[in-house]
Amino acid sequence: MTPDLLRLVGFTVEMALAGVLLTLPIGILLGLWLARTRWPGRSVVETIATLPLVLPPTVVGLVLLEIFGRNRPLGRFLYERFDLTIAFTWRAVVLASAVVAFPLLVRTVRAAFEGVDPRLPALARTLGRGPFHVFFTVSLPLAARGILAGAILAFSRALGEFGATIMVAGNIPGETQTMSLAIFQLVSIGRDPDAYRLAALSVVVAFVAIWLSERLVRQSRARLAEES
C-alpha cells in the first residue's frame, strides 16, 4: 500500500470516527429520552431523527450547505465570530458523517435503553443515589453494549458516506476526499484498477466493522437473557 493510500484510509476512518463521537452524547440523550418518555409527540421527534436515514444523502448535504455555507446566516456567523469555516473543509466531512449516521445511533441506543428494566434505576434512587449517579452507574452500564453496537453501526455508515459529503464538503484531494469520494474520482478519470483496489479495501474495513457490531449485539442480548 502506498503512503497516499494509507493516508486516505486513515483520513476516512478519522472522519467517520469524529462524526460518531460528535453524535454520541446527543444520540445517547435522545435515545434515552425516546425510550423513557410517554409524551405523545415522541413519534414526531422520532420521525425527524430518522429522516437522514431515508432522505437522499444529497438532500441532507444540500440542507447542511443551506445552514453552514459561508453566505448563510449560521455559516457567516461562525466565520466572522470564530474564524471558523465549515463548508468545503474537513469539518464538513465530519458534519455530514455525523448527520447521516445519527439515525442509526439513536435507534440502536433507544432499543438498548428499552432493554433496561426501568424499575432498576428507580430502585437505585430509593437507595439514596441521585438521578445522575444512577444514570452513570445503572442505566448506562446496562445499555453500554447496545450503545457500543449502535456506535459501530453508525461508524460503518459514516465510513461509506458519499452524497451528503460531496454536497457540503466537495471532493478535494488531500483535504476533504474520503475513500468513497476517491473511488468516484478514480473511475471518472478512467483509473479503474486503482478504483477497484480501493473498493476492495473498503470491503475489508466495512466487513470488520459490521462483524464486530453483530458480535457485540449478540453478547449483549445473551447477557440480558442470562441476567433477567
Partner 1 sequence: MIEVRLRIPLSEFELSVALDLAGPVTALFGPSGVGKTTLLEAVAGLRRPLEGEIRIDGELIYSSERRFSLPPERRRFGLVPQDALLFPHLDVRANLLYGFRNGGALSLPSVAEALEIGHLLDRRPSRLSGGERQRVALARALLSQPRLLLLDEPVASLDVELKDRVLPYVKRVRDLHRIPTLFVSHDAADVLSLADEVVVLDRGSVVDRGTPRTVLTHPVARGAFFKGRFENLLESRVLGHEPEEGLTRVETERGLALSIPYREAPLGERVLLGLLAEDVLLAKEAPVGLSARNVFEGSIRAIEEQGGVAMVEVDAKDSIYVRLSHGAVRSLELRVGLPVHLIVKTHSIHRLS
**Which positions lie near partner 1, rule CB under 8 A?**
117, 119-120, 122-131, 137-138, 141-142, 226-228
Q: Which is nearer to partner 1, 114 or 117 (CB)?
A: 117
Q: Is 204 exposed, middle or buried (0-12, 13-18, 19+ CB in 10 A)?
A: exposed
User: CB of residue 142 vs partner 1: minimum separation in angstroms?
Assistant: 6
Question: Do the Cβ atoms of 167 and 62 come closer than 8 Å?
Answer: yes
Q: Which is nearer to partner 1, 136 or 211 (CB)?
A: 136
User: CB of residue 121 vs partner 1: minimum separation in angstroms?
Assistant: 10
Grid cell digits, residue 26 = 446527543
Grid cell digits, residue 51 = 429522516
- The count of other CB atoms within 10 Å of the CB of residue 102 is 26
Q: Which is nearer to partner 1, 83 or 226 (CB)?
A: 226
User: CB of residue 128 vs partner 1: minimum separation in angstroms?
Assistant: 5
Looking at the chain, the number of H-run helices and the number of E-run strands are 11, 0
Q: Which is nearer to partner 1, 82 or 132 (CB)?
A: 132
User: CB of residue 131 vs partner 1: minimum separation in angstroms?
Assistant: 8
